[in-house]
Structure 1
């Protein structure tokens, strides 16, 4: 189980549990140039400690000339309520592949929030060329956790943007993706459940 930030250790100590009942997850809406219909999959892990999002066509490719290309995606999902618990996201693993030539750069900008929460957690990563490999960016929530409400369904917004800025040297080959070249690797939202006080 992931450790909480020291500043939030007291709050998180009670949060790192999983309810016996498995909640359902319903995808409400998927929009964006990086996630066309039928190219994303959302799932809850069997132990209820992670929500995974898998993309099969989330790619910002070079445009053939020195230019900047962006692709984005927004996923709205509903996590069914579990009596006595509020869902809490402690960290997120963003994964993908990039090939960028010297002088080129690939960037990830992402955020997520529960409806009704007072703030959204944001993440950012920049890869500068030359680079050709799978990448992993782990974002730990700034306050130690992002928590849904104790009542009602929990609607989670997940937003992300991939941006590729190519020089002439990489205009034909530069690419950044939210996937790897050798396996289907999901983004992982590490999930715990905070007991609600009565």
Structure 2
């Protein structure tokens, strides 16, 4: 069954952050956006552990994870060093508009021993399109703190949804942790894209343009 998320109209402020571009540079649809979450799959987002919500002003949506954890070292399984999550979204936009992901804010927590390395990576593409946008962020130990990373796309490089068509939008995120020069037999390094209270979110800011 599809999970449907609706954004109400007429609300000026976003719950999840400011849009990536000002209203004077790119338009915002006057009507609501509807996102159908077709599938959420991956080792970092088992069934029931990821949720999607849309901001009231149609400029952002948020994904919240509760079990997105990559780790290496004591207590880890051999496959735990890499976790991923693929979101397959059906985005219904008001007639005459199209959209692109303008920027993405990722947040989580990292405990990396001295010499260990953590990587957060994401890819964005529309169904049937070869063009894919990627963002990669690297973190090195020693580190024991919250982390934040932002992928920003210049207007000229935005990957727009085809006008007049509804194509699924795919977001594939990944966390990796490598021991590096640390000793995985005596230590543990990990990265999460969540928090103990579930308040850490991933925010995707939308840019809009009028179709010809």
**TM-score > 0.5, shorter chain as reference:** yes
Partner of 1:18: 28
Shift of 1:171: 5.1
- Alignment TM-score, normalising by the size of structure 2: 0.80
Equivalent in the alignment of 1:84: 96
- Structure 1's consecutive aligned runs of 4 or more residues displaced over 3 angstroms after TM superposition are 65-68, 169-173, 180-183
Alignment match of 1:60 (pick from 70, 95, 98): 70
Per the normalisation by structure 1, the TM-score is: 0.85
| Corresponding position of 1:2 | 20
Unaligned ranges ≥5, structure 2 = 1-18
Q: Any idea what SS the aligned residue of 1:147 has?
A: coil
Partners of 1:35 and 1:170 in 2: CA distance: 27
Maintained 8 Å contact 1:115/1:154: yes
Q: Which moved more, 1:97-106 or 1:180-189?
A: 180-189
CA RMSD, 1 decimal: 2.4
Structure 1 alignment gaps of length 5 or more: 5-11
Distance 1:170 1:196 in 2: 57
Q: Does the 8 Å CA contact 1:65/1:171 hold for their aligned counterparts? A: no
Corresponding position of 1:9 = none
Report the number of matched residues. Answer: 189
| Matches of 2:115 and 2:75, distance apart in 1 | 14
2 CA distance for matches of 1:113 and 1:169? 35
| Aligned residue among 125, 140, 143 for 2:137 | 125
- Identify the residue that residue 8 of structure 1 maps to in structure 2: none
Structure 2 CA distance for aligned equivalents of residues 38 and 180 of structure 1: 16
